[in-house]
Amino acid sequence: MDLGSLWSGLGWPLVRLLAFVSLGLFVANVIEALNWTRAMSRLAQPLIRMGHMKDITGASFSMAFFSGVAANSMLAEHYDQGNLTRKELVLANLFNSLPTYFLHLPTVFFITLPFIGSAAVIYVGLTVASAVVRTAATILLGRILLPPLPEGCVICRLEEDRARSWKSAMRKAWRRFKKRIWKIATTTVPIYIAVYIAKNLGLFDMLEGFMAEYVKGLSFLPPAAMSIVVFHVAAEFTAGLAAAGSLMQAGSLTVNQIVVALLVGNIISSPMRAFRHQFPYYAGIFKPRLALRLMVYNQLLRVISLIIVGAAFILVTGP
C-alpha cells in the first residue's frame, strides 16, 4: 500500500474525525463554562419532565441539534462527575437520536431525491417518523425506569446563573478540554486504526457478504426489490438508491415497494456501518465497553422503530 492511499484511507479521515471531536468537545466546554446549559435545558423541559430525566439531558438534547459529538461529550463529562447514573446516561444518549438524525436529514433527503423522486419524500418521512418513535419510547422508558424529579428540580444540578466573562469562561473551557482530549485521542486513534486494518483485511466485506446472502430469505419482497436490498447491504446507500432509481424508471416496482426495500436495506446494513464509522469516536468519548453498550442500545432501538414504522406503512398502503 502506497503512502497516498494510506493518507487518503486512514490519515486524512482520522485527522478530520479528531478535528470534529475536538471542536465538539471544546464547544460543549465553552457552553458549560458560560452557564448556557441552563437556558438550553429549559427548551427541552416538558419532554425531560415527562421522562423523569435530569437537567443535563435536556441541555444535551438541545446541543445535539448542532453537534452530536458535543452532546455526547457533555453527557460523558457529567457521567464522570457522578451527576448521571449509568441508566440515566443510556436514556439520555437514546433521547438524542431525534436531534442527531435531524443533523443529517438535509443530506439524506437531497441525496435520495434525485434517484427516486417522490418516493424520497415517503422514505425520508418514514425515517423521521422512526426517530420520533425512538424519542417517544425513550421518554416512556424514562418514566418507567427513573424516579420522578423533585418539583422545580429540572435544572437543579446545573450551576447557578451568574455572570462570567468570556475570558474566564475560555480559560475554564480550555482546562477541561486539555484534560479530556488526550484521553479521547489516545483511545480513538488505535481503535480507528484497528477498524481500518479489519476493513482492508476484508473482514467487513465478509460480514456484509454474509448479510447480503441472508437477505435472500426475505420472501415478502418481490424478486426485483431484492437487488435494492443487496446493493444497500453489500455496497453503500447510494448503490441501493441507484438500483431503486433504475427499477422505478423501468416500471418494475411500485413506489411503495421501492420504499419498503430501502427500509429493509437500512435495517440490515445500519448496525455494521454504525460500528465501523461511529465506534472509534464513541470509544474516545466514553470508555470502550460503555461505548459499545450505548451503540448496541441505539441500534437495537433504531431497528425496532424502523420495523414498527415499516410494518405500519405496509398495513396502511398494502405490500
Question: 69-105 pLDDT, tens per residue?
Answer: 888 888 988 898 888 999 999 999 999 988 888 877 8
DSSP letter string over the chain? --HHHHIIIIIHHHHHHHHHHHHHHHHHHHHHHTTTHHHHHHHTHHHHHHTT--HHHHHHHHHTTT-HHHHHHHHHHHHHTTSS-HHHHHHHHHHTHHHHHHHHHHHHHHHHHHHHTHHHHHHHHHHHHHHHHHHHHHHHHHHHHSPPPPTT-TTTTSPPP----HHHHHHHHHHHHHHHHHHHHHHHHHHHHHHHHHHHTTHHHHHHHHHHHHGGG-TTS-HHHHHHHHHHHHS-HHHHHHHHHHHHHTTSS-HHHHHHHHHHHHHHHHHHHHHHHHHHHHHHHS-HHHHHHHHHHHHHHHHHHHHHHHHHHHHHH--
Host domain of residue 277: 3-317
Domain count, the chain: 1
What the block records as the C-alpha cell of 157 is 444540578
State yes or no: pLDDT of 22 exceeds 50: yes
- What would the pLDDT profile of 241-256 be if each residue is shown by its tens digit? 777 887 777 777 888 8
For Cα atoms 238, 244, 248, give the angle at the middle one, nearest 5 degrees: 145
Q: How confident is the model at residue 136 (pLDDT cuts 50, 70, 90)?
A: very high
What the block records as the C-alpha cell of 32 is 458549560
State yes or no: pLDDT of 41 exceeds 80: no
**Rounded Cα gap, residues 23 and 70, in angstroms:** 8
State yes or no: pLDDT of 117 exceeds 90: no
Count of CB atoms situated within 10 Å of the CB of 64: 27
Half-sphere exposure (CA, 13 Å, Cβ side) for 235?
A: 13
For Cα atoms 266, 233, 3, give the angle at the middle one, nearest 5 degrees: 115
Spacing of C-alpha 51 from chain mean position: 20
pLDDT at 158: 46
**Rounded Cα gap, residues 210 and 111, in angstroms:** 27
Specify the higher pLDDT residue, 209 or 244.
244
CB 284 within 8 A of CB 187: yes
pLDDT, the chain, mean: 78
